[in-house]
Amino acid sequence: MMGTMGKMAALAAEPGEDAFRKLFRFYRQSRPGTADLGAVIDFTQASPARGTCPKVLSSPLSVSSVSEQDACRAGLQPVSKWKAYGLEGYPGFIFIPNPFLPGYQRHWVKQCLKLYSRKPNVCNLDKHMVAEEIPDLWGQSQELLRNKDVNKKKPRSLLEKLRWVTLGYHYNWDNKTYSADHYTPFPSDLAYLTKQVAAACGFQDFQAEAGILNYYRLDSTLGIHVDRSELDHTKPLLSFSFGQSAIFLLGGLKRDEVPTAMFMHSGDIMVMSGFSRLLNHAVPRVLPNFDGTSLPRCLEVPLPDALPAGSVAEPCSVEDWQVCAKYLQTARVNMTVRQVLATGQDWEDKEIKTMSESSCHLDDKNNEAKRARMNPNS
C-alpha cells in the first residue's frame, strides 16, 4: 500500500500543472491492488439508495421508448432491467453498467476488429502504409494474434498498431471541420444499437452520423480534451467499452477543477449530453482484469447459436473469437457515436466548423513527444 509520503509526492503539482493534469498523472502512475484506486467510483457496486457513494444518483430511463423486441435485436436486456446512474454536479451524464445480453458483446468486439477497421473507413495507419496493405488488417493479423504468447515480446500485428478508426462523417483534424464529401456509410448495426440506447435515455430522434473507435493497449492513455465538434450539444454522445477496464476522469469546464474518477468495465455505456458534453475528460489508465483472469467473465459467454429474428448481431465463429480474445487480453476497445448535424440542418448551408480538441488520438505512455504533438493542451 502506498504510504502517506508517497501519495503526497504523487499528487504534488508540477510547475504550471492544473488540477486535472495532476490527477491524470496520479492515476496514470497508480498501482492496482493498493489504496491508489480507493477513490475511483465503481458503478457496478454503487447503490444510491444505501448511500454507498454520495455523488452517485439514480438516473431515470424511458422504459416505454424501447420495446423488449427492439432491445433484444440490438443484443440488449429489456430496458426495465437496466441500471442507470448520474453524478451530482454533472447534469446530462448517464452511466449504464453492462446492459448487454450474455454473449452479445462479442459481436461488437468482432465488428470493431474485423469489419469497422476495413476501408473505406479511415484509421491512424493510413498515412504510414501503402494502399494495398490497408484493406484487410484482420486478415493480415489473425494468425500472428492467434499464436501470440502474451508473455513474450514478438512483432506487433497491424491490429495491435491500430489506435483509432472513424466512421460516417470523418473529422478533419487539420482544418477542424466535418464536410459532406468526407463520408462513408455508417454501419447499420451500430446505428441501430445507438438509437435504442439513446431512446432509452430520453433522446427519441437521435441519428448516428459519426463514430470514433479507440483501440487501447495496456500502456495507452487518452489525453485531456473536450468534445465540441457537433453543433447541437443537446444530442448525446454515446460511449461503449469492451475488453479490459479503464479509469475515466470527468472534470469541469476548466481544467483547474478536480475531476471525478470512475471505472469503465466491459459492456459499460456512458451517455453525455448538454452540460456534460462540454466538460474536460480523459482516460489516464487501462487496467488488467481485476479478478486475475485474462478476460472479464462477461466475455466468456458465447453468442447464442440461434439469434432472434431481426437481430443486428451476426454469428461469431470460434476461430474469430480466438483472435478477438487474444487481442483483448492486453487491450480495450471503445466506440463513441455522435450526431453531427442539428435537427433539420443540411450541408448546403456551409461546412460545419468545429473547435474540438483531439478526441480520438491515443497516446502511448512511453512516447511523451507523441503525446504532446497529438494533444497540445493536455
Higher pLDDT, 147 or 6: 147
Contact criterion met (CB below 8 Å) for 177 and 355: no
Of 230-234, 283-287, 296-300, least confident by mean pLDDT is: 230-234
- Give the Å distances, CA to CA, from 129 to 117, 120, 184: 14, 15, 20
With contact defined as beta carbons under 8 Å apart, do 59 and 88 qualify?
A: no
Residue 205 CA to residue 192 CA, distance in Å, equals 12
Angle between helix 318-328 and helix 137-146 axes, rounded to 10 deg: 80
pLDDT in tens, 215-229: 999 999 988 888 766
List, for residues 35-90, the tens digit of each pLDDT value.
Answer: 899 999 999 987 766 555 768 999 999 999 999 999 999 999 999 999 999 999 99
| pLDDT for the residue 34 | 84
Q: Is the pLDDT of residue 26 over 80?
A: yes
pLDDT class of 364 with cuts at 50, 70, 90: low
pLDDT at 367: 42
Region 25-34: mean pLDDT is: 89
Residue scoring higher pLDDT (154 or 301): 301
Q: Helices 4-11 & 19-28, crossing angle to 10 degrees?
A: 130
Q: What is residue 13's predicted lDDT score, i.e. its pLDDT?
A: 55
Size of the chain, expressed as the number of residues it contains: 378
Using the predicted structure, report yes or no on whether residue 340 has a pLDDT greater than 50.
yes
pLDDT digits (tens, 9 = 90+) for 321-337: 999 999 999 999 999 99
Binding residues for Fe cation, as ranges, are: 225, 227, 281
| CA dist 301 → 101, 114, 128, 366 (Å) | 10, 20, 37, 35
Which pLDDT score is estimated for 135? 63
More reliable by pLDDT, 46 or 107: 107
pLDDT tier at 234, thresholds 50, 70, 90:
confident
Q: Report how far residue 197's alpha carbon sits from residue 201's, in angstroms, rounded to the nearest whole number.
A: 6
Q: Which of 119, 81, 121, 109 is nearest to 97 (CA)?
A: 81
The pTM of the full predicted model, rounded to 2 decimals, is 0.88
* Contact between 224 and 20 (Cβ < 8 Å): yes
The pLDDT, as a whole number, for residue 290 is 72
Give domain limits for the chain.
38-338
Phi then psi for residue 164, to 5 deg, are -155, 155
Q: Is 73 exposed, middle or buried (0-12, 13-18, 19+ CB in 10 A)?
A: buried
Question: pLDDT at position 372, please?
Answer: 32
In this prediction, residue 202 carries a pLDDT of 95
Q: Binding site residues, as ranges?
A: 225, 227, 281
Question: Phi/psi at 50 (nearest 5 deg)?
Answer: -95, -5
Q: Is a pLDDT exceeding 90 seen at residue 133?
A: no
Contacts of 132 (CB under 8 A, 6+ apart): none
Contact predicate 249/23, CB 8 Å: yes
Q: pLDDT, tens digit, for every residue of 260-287?
A: 999 999 999 999 998 898 899 999 999 9
Cell 502511448 belongs to residue: 364
pLDDT of residue 151: 65
Counting Cβ atoms within 10 Å, is residue 298 exposed (0-12), middle (13-18) or buried (19+)? middle
**223 in Cβ contact with 363 (< 8 Å):** yes
CA distance 28 to 354: 29
At 185, is the secondary structure helix, strand, or coil? Answer: coil
Mean pLDDT of the chain, nearest integer: 84
